Structure 1
Amino acid sequence: MKVSITNPRTTFDKKPSPMLVTLVGLLIAYLPQYIHKVLGILKIHYGPEGPPSVILWNWLSVVLLTVYIVVIERRSLASILLVRPKKKDLAWAYIFWVMATSWNWAMNLIVAPEAQNEGLETIINLPIPVIIGMIFTTAITEEILYRGYPIECLRELTGNAWIGMTFSLIIFLIPHISFFGAQWLLYHGVGTILTYVLYMWRRNLWACILMHFLGNAPLLLPALGIG
């Protein structure tokens, strides 16, 4: 009598579920939002405090996420829309920035000048090189961590881009409102929505990065005593 012995697949042969892959990726992308709490629980003091900490933790998250996308997910950065922009992509980024700035300007005239709350005051009192570093850092890394990756991975997981966009928008707004205050929405909420419209329409993350950079750059004016 012959006894056939089959070799069942081991757990190492199984691919991780798409949901698990997405969850781990999101945990990496949103690392800057919870790393301080984790370090606090562990009673570990590392890196700069306050707003300048985004330079360290955002770039660390981008590096880790890039490795995760390429090595674990086996995708290129084109999967999060980091592809060479067309001239029209950049042109529309500029146009959308003008629209967002016009809304901000109108609210300052019609409602009231935007108050320099504690969060904004903290930033403009930082050394100029640090502010410049934060402007470039947030424009590039936040688009990757808060828009490009979560929207695209949730779109693929659920088959619905709007679910990813809604999730991304909520997670993007929470730290901005908590730091700058609810009034931030009145002056910058339209600009935020326009950035998402630009993303969904042009499907190019560099366009969003440019718009984000143009929106952040005016922070230098009060820091330099201009305006």
Structure 2
Amino acid sequence: MPTRQKFDNDLEDLRLNIIDMVNIVGQRIGQAVESLVNQNLELANTVVVGDLAVNDLQAIIEKQCILLIATQQPFARDLRKLVAGFKISIYLERMGDLSVDLAKLTLRIGQDKLIKPLIDIPRMTVLVQEMLNRGLKAYIQEDCEAATLMALLDDEIDLIYSQVFEELLHIMMKNPAQVTQANYLIFACRFLERLGDYCTNIAEEIMYLCNGKRMNLNE
């Protein structure tokens, strides 16, 4: 097989692994929040135990990137594909970790009666998953504009987080007995806010892949 053809095949394998990782992480985030909303301890434990699959896939992607850089000495766009792919896998691995943190909050709250209906947390989750879906399409199509538009959703997540934080703070001040669970719910919202930030980081890597420029979309 010609060297270039093999390299292109290896790049495609890398791309497919990143696509798989996006899908797995998106599913795990959804499961973690579902476990919290429904207080499903079994599902929460499934998310916690399943973290190894995300870590293993990130390790495979890292090894692929390092091997291709070392053996093929790519430059220009090919090198950007490897650098961006490696960094995207790191952000996805961290997002997987946050899904575990969300699931652990389910386990801490247990079957205690929820102090408020969990409406905003699912809203934030929908936005995070929409960012991931848009990011996946932007990555596949190497679409700078789509990556930029994807990052704009993070502002909506930040706004919801601020509103929920104020609401939960008011609950804690009004009823000290609810402080512990209110803090858990604040953590849940904070984790989702961080997930939005990581999605924005992924958008930045897609833009770097497209045009070779580093941009800060979190400002």
Give your verdict on TM over 0.5. no
Could you tell me the TM-score, scaled by structure 2's length? 0.31
Larger Rg: 1
Could you tell me the TM-score, scaled by structure 1's length? 0.30
Higher helix proportion (structure 1 or 2): 2
Q: Which structure would you say has the larger RCO, counting Cα contacts within 8 Å and 6 or more residues apart?
A: 1
